[in-house]
Amino acid sequence: MRRRYIAVKIELEDDELSGCGKLSKGDVWGAVWRSFLQLYGEYGASQADLSLVEYNPDENYTVFRCSHKALETVRTAISAVTEVRGRKAAFHIIYVSGTLKALRKRIEK
């Protein structure tokens, strides 16, 4: 099955992660998963094959993996996130790639 890797930058209300404690991987995953379930339901979620591959709390970015057919629905769900653990947030997609290696290269650049 073909997959897509999505690099996402997380923007928070105060821009100071340390002030209110860093977000955990679970917080980030929960926010996107909730958004996906609200918009596309369990049937849609079952087709997306969505998972969180990595999360960097210091750089404030995360990488998701999904089925290439569900890329647009995942993109919509990620864009629709407005809150993480009670804090206002915005998730911005920075890159989409077919392989994790290529995505990491582009992030490093």
Partner 1 sequence: MKRVYADLHLKPPSIDDPEATKALIREAARLGYSLIGVTLPKDVKAEEVEKLKETCKSEGVDLAIRVDLSPKNSRDLLEELRRVRRRFEIVAVECGNKQIARQAAKDRRVDILSFKSPEPRGRFFDAAEAELASGALSALEIDLAPLLVLSGFLRVRLLSILRREVFLAGKFGVPVVLSSGASERLLLRKPRECIALARLFDMDFEAAKSALSETPLSIVERNRKKLSPNYVAPGVYVVRRGGDCPDT
Binding footprint of partner 1 on the chain (CB under 8 A): 11, 13, 38-39, 72-73, 75-76, 78-80, 82, 88-90, 92-93
Q: Which two structure tokens, joined as six digits, stand for 39?
A: 């918009």
Task: Show the CA angle centred on residue 92, arms to residues 88 and 20, nearest 5°.
Answer: 35
Q: Which is nearer to partner 1, 92 or 106 (CB)?
A: 92
CB of 99 to partner 1, least distance (A): 20
- Cβ closer to partner 1: 65 or 96? 96
In the bound complex, what is the minimum distance in angstroms from residue 10's beta carbon to partner 1?
Answer: 11
Q: What is the DSSP letter of 20?
A: T
Q: What letter does residue 30 receive in the DSSP assignment? A: H
* Residue 69 · residue 3 · CB < 8 Å: no
Quote the CA–CA distance of 61 and 29 in Å, as a whole number: 12
| CB nearer partner 1, residue 93 or residue 100 | 93
Give min distance, CB of 45 to partner 1, in A: 16
